[in-house]
Amino acid sequence: MSSGHDTNVHFHRELEDLERRVLTMADDAEHMVEMAVTAAVTGDLPLAASVIELDEAIDESYDRVHRDWTNLIARNQPMGSDLRKMAVLLQLNVTFERMGDQCVNIAKIAQFNEALPRAERIAEKIREMGDLVRPMIRTAIDAYLRLDLDLARSLHSMDEPVDRLNASMYKETVAVADNPAMLEWATKMLMASRALERIGDQAVDFAEQTVYLVTGETVSLTKVDRTTQANDR
């Protein structure tokens, strides 16, 4: 965004370093979604443990970013796009930490589901949700790195099928109510579905932050569709 010589090199280097660390958390979260979904659906306990381990690393990164962010703003009082980037990074740090927490919520289901009978239809839908949510995180990262507003705005339409699948999950659960063991499994998967839906929303939040970074305007990319979602349920 520069048209001249940078007289604030030291600050900008530290800001870039902070940005790199925050975006690494998003990379980790994307990876964790795949691991967590597989662990939950297959009951893979070691994989679930890996997700929990990765989340601990994200939590540590969150703490360090928060500490360094405070230090950076106290010493530099940034303005303009630097200030917007600082605001965005603080928000994204929270967003990615929560994505990690949601992945842990999904992964932990593995330990409950190990011995329960599975409903293939529900498992397939959960996998499908995971396959939809991961590209959302990747697209939001790309939109941020390229400062691409169109790509950021595309997150809204990417989120729609995730919301639809989540809304349909209640009916799928009721459909297996005759089998109490399978119902228990399905109820846990309902929680996984809810967690994936939240991660999708968090990816949309990420894209909204990119729009703010570029334009200085706060937008809600999902606002339009709240009523539709409610009706689907």
Partner 1 sequence: MTTREMSYSPQGQEIDLVRDSRSGSHAKGPVESEIVIATEAMEVYYGAFRAVDAVTIDFHARQITALIGPSGCGKSTVLRSFNRMNDLIPGALVTGAVRYHGKNIYDPDVDPVEIRRRIGMVFQKPNPFPKSIYENVAWGARINGAGRKGPEMDDVVQQALERAALWVEVKDKLQESGYSLSGGQQQRLCIARAIATNPDVVLMDEPASALDPIATLRIEELMFELKKDYSIIIVTHNMQQAARVSDMAAFFNVNLDDRGMRTGRLVEFSPTSQLFTSPREQETEDYITGRFG
Number of residues this chain uses to bind partner 1 (CB under 8 A): 21
Among 70, 157, 179, 215, binds partner 1 (CB under 8 A): 215
Q: Show Cβ contacts of residue 77 under 8 Å, excluding neighbours closer than 6 positions.
A: none
Nearest residue to 8 (alpha-carbon basis) of 72, 84, 88, 89: 72
How far apart are alpha carbons 229 and 55 in whole angstroms?
A: 30
Q: Is 218 in the site for partner 1 (CB under 8 A)?
A: no
Among 33, 40, 78, 197, binds partner 1 (CB under 8 A): 78
Q: Show Cβ contacts of residue 122 under 8 Å, excluding neighbours closer than 6 positions.
A: 169, 172, 173, 176, 186, 189
Which residue lies nearer to partner 1 by CB, 3 or 227? 3
- 117: DSSP letter: P
Q: Is 6 in the site for partner 1 (CB under 8 A)?
A: yes
Q: Least distance from C-beta 148 to partner 1, angstroms? A: 19
Matching residue, tokens 């593995």 = 110
Stretch that binds partner 1, among 79-87, 110-118, 139-147, 201-209 (CB under 8 A): 79-87
| Whole-number Cα distances in Å, 163 to 24, 73, 159, 195, 218 | 26, 37, 6, 11, 23
Among 20, 46, 74, 80, binds partner 1 (CB under 8 A): 80
What binding mask, one character per residue, do residues 82-121 give for partner 1 by CB under 8 A, x or -? xxx-------------------------------------
Binding site residues, partner 1, CB under 8 A: 1-8, 11-12, 77-84, 215-217
